[in-house]
Structure formats: structure tokens, C-alpha cells
Structure 1
Amino acid sequence: MSAQTYAARWVLPMDAPPIENGEVIVEDGRIAAVRPRSYGSPVGCSCSRIGGGGGRDFGEAVLLPGLVNAHTHLEYTALRGFLEDVPFFPWVRALTASKAALVADDWLWSARLGALEAVAAGTTTLGDNTDAGVTMAVAAETGLRAVICQEVFGIDHRQPISGILDDLCGKIAAHRRLTSDRVRVGVSPHSLYTVRPELMAALNAYVAEERLPT
């Protein structure tokens, strides 16, 4: 595969000073070089194609690495603004009750909206927490790089830990069918106030055995 060159007025390497009239060279899907432009006149104002090898001149723009959002809930995007004036614990109870009214397609399209908003804002990598379990497919179809963590709840001692773990194992197995070099699966115990200590210990043992991120 031939190299692709992406140029702009400014390139931000992040580990070095900004480069005015810079370019990024991509070979086989990987960044091979970040440097001052090596040909022609200073960057122009149009988004024109560069050379025979492909790429683009973005003109008066800034090229920088994609942003990272380490804690998201894409499937809750459609609930933006919902009960924002309510204290936290009443909000949690209201959210839990409201979630029962949503169906799988609602969660899917809500997550898609969140993913598209992330990409539009320059975010390319996510650490997402999913309860409905739809975000793996959304990350795969939108090209995001992500670790998708299946949320786990369990404060009620009447819920057997074995049953919670069995349910989690089934969800993780389904998620793993959608993993790739860009999208990984993990586990997210929801919080100390929604996951009892015995379950937290069992989850720690499970993720260690399965080598899953948390």
C-alpha cells in the first residue's frame, strides 16, 4: 500500500512542539512520520488531494491525535437533560424505572447518536460502560476505538452471586463475538454502593481469570 500524506497549517504531535505547515505520513494504516512539509509551497486553504499516493491537504486547519473519553455511557445519549435538577440517588431510582420503558432499538439508536457526536467532536477512543449491551456493535460500525465494559449491579443479597456471574458470562461471550483490533470488551462493576463486597470480590476473580480490563 502506498503512503498517504495529510497536511495542514498546524500539526500537533503532542510529544513535541507544534509544527507549522506540517504533514502526517501514513503507511499501511499506521503513522510513519510527523514532520514539516517536505514539498511544494506552504499549505493552502482548500481541502485538496495530495499527490498520486493519496491523502489530503486540509488547508487552514489543525491536525492532532483523536481525543480520548475514558468514561462514557453512549446508550444514555437520548436521556440527555433527563431529571437534571434531581439529587443523585432519586435520579438513579428514576432512571432505573424509566429504563424499563425503553426497548432494544431505543438503546441502539441512542448509542449511535452518542457515537456520531463523539466522532464529530474529534473523539476517536472511548472507555464505554454498557448495561443494555448495544455499544459493541455501535463501536464496530462507526470505526471507533473502544474498550466496552459490561456493567454489573448487585447490592441485593437475595440475588445469588452465581446467577449474576452466569448472566455476565453470557453477555461477555456475546460481546466477544464483536471484538476486533479496535474494540475490546471489559467488565465494569457499577459502584461500591450498587455492588456488594462479596460480589466485587467475585468479579475481581472473574476478570483476572478471563484477562479482561475493568
Structure 2
Amino acid sequence: MRLLIGNKNYSSWSLRPWLVLKHAGIAFEETLVPLYQDDSKARILKDSPSGKVPALSDGDLVVWDSLAIVEYLAEKFPERGIWPADPAARAVARSVCAEMHAGFTQLRTHLSMDIRGRKTAQIDAATQAEIDRILAIWTDCRNRFGDTGPFLFGTFSAADAFYAPVVTRFVTYGVAVPDSARQYMTAVLALPAMQQWLADGAAEPWSLSF
């Protein structure tokens, strides 16, 4: 399998399936196309019919959406624990992933992912409301399902991969969070796969301005 991704410093959508693949120990090759270059779109379209990253190629099959990629991997590798084993936990995990996938537009607009950056942002009421909703999700999942480990559903799952870019955003912009959220963020950042992504992103030569 091969995963097409964008810059590791900036591409939150690329991080999600990449982290699932790495943490699950699934073999794959990665192809990185730097975003917002003159030839980026043409290069991406060679492997992604949407013209966007990420896209997963598995033989002749191409899956070109981050959530669809994760679902495909969960079906192909059911023994890897990509979703929680408990049906109720799994349903909630899918719900919080879908909510992240479809929403939080203010967060994306005003707190764009920039792993290397350390910035001060003026957080308006709409963005703060989305931050509060994310913190509520983390608290609810940890309280209900997190008794077996430090992640949202105890052990690492796709839900943690979907919120991993948010963890980096909170670090980049110095977002104030309660101790319980800080502990969760520390667990995500300490993952070996996450450490590799962060190091790779820090070493990239491209610098974008948003």
C-alpha cells in the first residue's frame, strides 16, 4: 500500500491515516507532495481523483478520504484494533471522528496546523466554543471509556488519530486546557509514531504563510 500525503508540518488530514497505519504496524510506502506549490495539484491528481491529500493506493484501488481510508484499514486489518472492540465505545468513537471530520471550521480557519510554529492567537467566541466542544469530547470519552489507558477509549484508536492534529494546534497556539486534557495531549505526543511525524515535519524545508 502507498499513502499520498502533504507537508507533515501543515497537513492535518494527512496525519490522521498516517498515524493509524504507523501505530497499527501496517506496512506502507509514503509519497509526500508539498502543498501550495505551482505543480502540487497536478502531482496530487496523479494519485488522488479528488486532487487532495491524503489518498491510499492498495493495488488498483484508491481511497481518497481520511475517514474512508481509516474505515478501509479497519476492515482490512480487523485484528489491529483500529476501532474500540466494545460496540458502544466503537459507536461513540465513530461519532467523535465524524464530528471532527465534518466540523470545527473556525478552529481550522483561525488555528491552522503549524507544528513548528509557536504563535499567539486572538481566539474569538466562535473558535473558543469549538475548543470547548473538543475538550468536552475528550472529557466525556475519557470518563466513559478511558479506564484502560491514557487515550480517549483507553487504548489508542482511530479517534486519537483524528484528534492528534488538534493536539498540535493547542501546542502551537498555547491554548489553555485543564490538567486532564494536558495529560491526554502528553500521551498523544509521546507516541513513537507521533514523535516521528513531528520530527519529520520540523525537518521539512518548506515554509508556508497563512
Q: What TM-score comes out, normalization by structure 2 length? A: 0.31
- Relative contact order, CA 8 A, sep 6+: which one is greater? 2
Larger radius of gyration: 1
Which of the two has greater helix per residue?
Answer: 2
